[in-house]
Every structure is written in structure tokens, then in C-alpha cells.
Structure 1
């Protein structure tokens, strides 16, 4: 697929659904908007977070393929990549605006899909988007141990935890079809009894110095 075809397909997928009444801000429709979207997709595909995990890397490739027929999943992918680009280029207003738009569309369209139907045909699309949203819930603009949810009286501080229940909801409703999922091998790896999730390092080893001091 040529770069021009990719750009046209992305524009088609990511424009607001007909009848939604939504209008894109100028920064998301100007001449450079398409190049930023392609840049974000490339950034996601080359993401270092997945490079060392072979099975996850394979699934991520399949996820990008699915996204080319699934607007809410493509929005999630572009949103995730743009969030990371925002951390690298915090003063870029266009990225900030794109990040907000793509995550807003992800949540809106994903919610509509979940409430309409969950089938063997769309379960991988839903799993993928759900995992992306769950990962995004851990993102923080700034980090301070003192602002941790542990010390916060604000009930919304636990939103990240409640969001993790989304995948369980999907798994419960797709249980008979799970072995057909492209995520099956990855899900089953997490159930391997030989995997050690404990960190037995002593003292401050591996801890952020500010967190250790705190």
C-alpha cells in the first residue's frame, strides 16, 4: 500500500462519523494533519515498548491491520502514539489537540460498539481497544509520589483501577470464542504458573530515587 493510499485510508477512517455533527478543528484538517497522523501510526508500529516481546509484537502487527477496518481502534492507536509524542514534544499544540480528539473518539465509538454487540467477529477489535484505553489510564502528565491515589481523598483517583474491569467484562462475554482470538496466546502466557511476577530485589535497587526517599 502506497503512502498516499495509507493517508487517504486514515483520513477516511478518522473523520467524524456521518450525522455526528462533529467538526474537526483546523489543526486536524490542515495540510500537515495527514503527515502527523502517518507519523503517529509509524511511531506506534516502531514503539520500543513492544520490541522485546515477540508474541506481543506479532499481535500488535495484527492489531494495526484490524485498525484499518475499525475506526475506534485506529483512533486508539493514533491516540496512544500521539500521547507519547506529546511527552517528547510537550510544546506542540497540534499533537495536544490530536491526542484529545483521538481519545475522545476512541471512548465514544468503543462504548457504542460494546453496547451494541459483542461477537466473535469484533471481539479482537474490542480487546485491542480496551487494552489501549487501560494502558492509557496509567499515563500521568507529571509524576509525584505525593500525588499518588494512595494518599488522595478524590474518588476519581481510582478511575485507572475501575477501567481495568473492562477487559474482564469482555472476557466473560466472549469466553466460548476465546481460543479463536489473536490475543489467546498472550492471555494464556499471563496464566503460566512458572512466570515469577515478584520482585525480590532488596532495598532501593531499581526504585526511583525520589520514591525511595519518600
Structure 2
């Protein structure tokens, strides 16, 4: 697909990434096809994904696949699942080792073009604050957005980021696993079986 190749060739953030603490080069990870019916809208690839070239190829991905009730084969089936982050490249780390935010220029350059190709999507899973602000237009904290999931279901589910850093969040909010995840998993299976 021409758009995928254009994204993979993008080097618009080369100088920005070279100036980060990680000093890396761009490696856009574009993972979508127009036939996809499940959209996973995330934030940006991490270092492991930057190295492998495969989205959510890390412990966060293991947790996200568990949340969705999908096997790796199902999750990585681009004909059914589109994985579209707010930035297609790993943004790098700052001097303290924290993830830098997704560069806005990436979203401005590519996001609308990608979303226009995904007209068969029946379920959107919106992961993390950056993507929730963009896709949902919310200004509320992630906890409040996720707690209001019933207002958006069954065609959209906001989720916290599945990072290990959010393990404490999950313990403080048992309703997420007890109430949201069973409904999400059922809806994911419906969408994945359809067509």
C-alpha cells in the first residue's frame, strides 16, 4: 500500500530524534490495511518496538492482548486489526529515561490520511491520554475517561496504557478488570468474527 510505504520512508523527525538522549534514527512502524475492522489507537512505539519493527512487541503488548482476548496471530492480522499510534516512531527518552511525548508533527502529517483509509472499522480501542484527546476530543484525565467507558461502548473503548507502570492503577481500579474487560472482550470477538 502506497501510504504505508510513504510512512515507512518518513524522516521528518530525524533531527529531533538525533537530539534526544537516545540519539536514534526514525523507524516508522505502520501496521494497518483498509480492510481492518478493529482499530487500536495508541500513543507511540517504545524502544523494543523500534528495534523489532512490530507494534506492541513487548510486555505492554502482552497485557493489551490479554485485555482484548486476542492471540498474537489474531492481534497481528492486519486484514482485521489496524494499530495506529499518534506517532509512528519511537520518540526517544529524555535524560531521566522517561518516554518523550509523541511528536505532534507526525500526527499532523499522517494521521488523517491513515484514518481516511480505515472506513471498515467497527470497533475502536483508544489507548492512553494522547490518543484519547485526539480521537475522542476529551480533556479529562485518563482515569475519568476510562471510567466513563459505558458512554462510548459498544463501538469505542478508552483504555489506560497497558504499561507495567500502570500496574498500581489497575489495583486501585478493580472495576476495570471486573466490569470493562469482559464487555470489551465480547465485543472484540464479535467484530473479529464478522466478515
Coarse TM-score class (shorter-chain normalised): 0.3 to 0.5
Task: Name the structure where strand makes up a greater proportion of residues.
Answer: 2
Taking structure 1 as the reference length, the TM-score comes to 0.34
Higher relative contact order (CA 8 A, sep 6+): 2
Task: Name the structure where helix makes up a greater proportion of residues.
Answer: 1
